[in-house]
Structure 1
Amino acid sequence: MDGRTRRWAGHREARRLELVDAAVVAIEQHGPDVTTEQIAAQAGVSRPGLYRHFEGKDDLQAAIAARSVERLVAELEPVWRPSGRPREMLERAIAAHLRWLSEHANVYKYLKRNSLPTGDDSVETASTNVRSVVSAHVAEMLVDGSLGAEMPPASAHPLAYGLVGMVDAAAAHWLDEPHGALVEHLGAQLTEACWAVIRVTVGAVVIDALDRVGAETG
């Protein structure tokens, strides 16, 4: 690829990203049922002009999902660098996740509605599934000892996906039907539930030891 071709490819990619960011703004404004016409209007292009940069609606949805997950991971960056007591780390992680969901509720609902299958209708791609991305990060942290103790993958992955799945399901229901609960109350409730599961899985003796270490290094 010569320099001119690379510059053109870079320009097209930059333009595509601008359109994706405009689509996210449109979703925030109009909700998860946003139309392609509303996205195009926000981007300042015609509908055909929008699709000159995407291979159809599925490609556009996948790009929006990937961009949203990228932003979520960036906003949760402090969570991926844990310090302090294990329970405090869990509390911060859940609070950060819930804060993102509550601040970007329309985008989250859009992602839930438009996750794309990988070929098997029961499986969703990580790029279109916030839960999968966060779960993978948590599992990696459990395996490599970032949370204070190394766990075998056979235990770490089910635990991570189970905990994140519980938080995600509870948050999704809360967004639709809060029943008067504040996000802080939901976070406290989920922290207690997740902590109980972790203590059972890892063992109270190990948790107590990690807690002492966290108090010294936090």
Structure 2
Amino acid sequence: MTSPVKDPDGRSSRWDDHREERRGELVLAAVTAIEQFGPDAGIARVAEAAGVSKPVLYRYFDHKQELHDRVITWAAEQVVDRIAPALAEPGAIRRRIGNAVDAYLGLLTEHPNVFRLVLRHRGTDGALMPPGSHRISATFARFIGDGMRALGLDAGGAEPWAHGLVGFGLSTGEWWLTRETMSRAAVGTYLTDFIWHGFAGIAAEHGIDLEELATRATAATVTELRRNDS
């Protein structure tokens, strides 16, 4: 049997790394084009933003949908990068929830058209949630589960609650960007109150007053929260 071809100098690995790095650069160009021209921005607009021709773009992405999927995954990663440190920072739980909500709303403010693209892909391929949303729900589930266990409470609801929060956030974000009838601060307050009272109510049923609790997070906790790929 023929032995597999070896790559003693690592050229193949270096090429793969370079290709992935280049794909990342093109995803950022797509983000720029989508924000400027809207979620309908075509491949020509993306190629223009990247400073390349359409054939060059197609060397890295087989079709437009693949590029869109990468943009949506990028958006999910941005959400995790914003909310994980906010949730894990030291301080009262209610304030941490508020900071995480504000970080999410800030991302929508910065990239409204990317978020609109995300919403367009909700429900594709029979899935209720858009690609990449599992990254966010896994982060929520880990935070909720760890918090409930630390309080000596049943953490069995962490995963369904986390998925519910992602859907809640998407729906509210869609309403906010579409209607534009409320300030970011007001939306953030209402979202924070809703989430906080849900968990405070669960804790209260077990005789725990979350208003009196403050937790401390370490850098390791932030790292753990961001390990959301199963």
> Shorter-chain TM-score: which interval?
0.7 to 0.9
Partner of 2:12: 5
User: Which has the larger displacement, 68-77 or 183-192?
Assistant: 68-77
Amino acid aligned to 1:195: W
Matching residue within 59, 66, 77 for 1:70: 77
Give distance in 1, aligned partners of 2:50 and 2:174.
Answer: 29
Task: State the alpha-carbon separation in 1 of the partners of residues 16 and 54 from structure 2.
Answer: 22
- Counterpart Cα distance in 2 of 1:206 and 1:137: 27
Residues paired across the two proteins, number: 210
Identify the residue that residue 109 of structure 2 maps to in structure 1: 102
Instruction: Determine the C-alpha separation between the residues in 2 that align with 1:170 and 1:86.
Output: 22
Residue 39 (structure 1) shift: 0.7
Matched, 1:172 2:174: yes
Out of 40, 47, 53, which is 2:47 matched to? 40
Aligned partner of 1:214 in structure 2 is 214
Cα distance, 1:162–1:69 mapped onto 2, change above 3 Å: closer
Query: Residues 12-46 of structure 1: CA distance to partner in whole angstroms, max 9, x if unpaired?
Result: 22211111111111111111111111111111122
Give the aligned residue type for 1:46: S
Q: Does 1:90 align with 2:97?
A: yes
Q: Where does residue 187 of structure 2 map in the other structure?
A: 186
For the residues of structure 1 that align with 2:155 and 2:33, how far apart are their CA atoms?
A: 40
Change (3 A) 1:199 1:80: closer
Q: What SS does the corresponding residue of 1:184 show, helix, strand or coil?
A: helix
The CA distance in 2 between the partners of 1:176 and 1:134, in whole Å, is 22
Deviation at 1:60, TM superposition (A): 1.2
| CA shift digits 1:136-167 (9 cap, x unpaired) | 21111111228953654431222222233223
- Give the percent of matched residue pairs that are identical in Structure 1 and Structure 2: 34
In the alignment, does 2:127 pair up with 1:122? yes
- Where do 5+ consecutive residues of structure 2 fail to align? 1-5, 218-230
| Structure 1 unaligned residues grouped into runs of 5+ | none
Change in CA separation of 1:42 and 1:99 when aligned onto 2, cut-off 3 Å: same
Please report the RMSD computed on the Cα atoms of aligned residues, expressed in angstroms: 2.5
Residue in structure 1 matched with residue 63 of structure 2 by the alignment: 56
**Contact 2:148-2:155 within 8 A present in 1 as well:** no
Q: Which residue of 2 aligns with 1:14?
A: 21
In structure 1, give the amino acid aligned to 2:116: K
Higher mean Cα deviation, 28-37 or 72-81? 72-81
Q: With structure 1 as the length reference, what TM-score do the two structures score?
A: 0.84
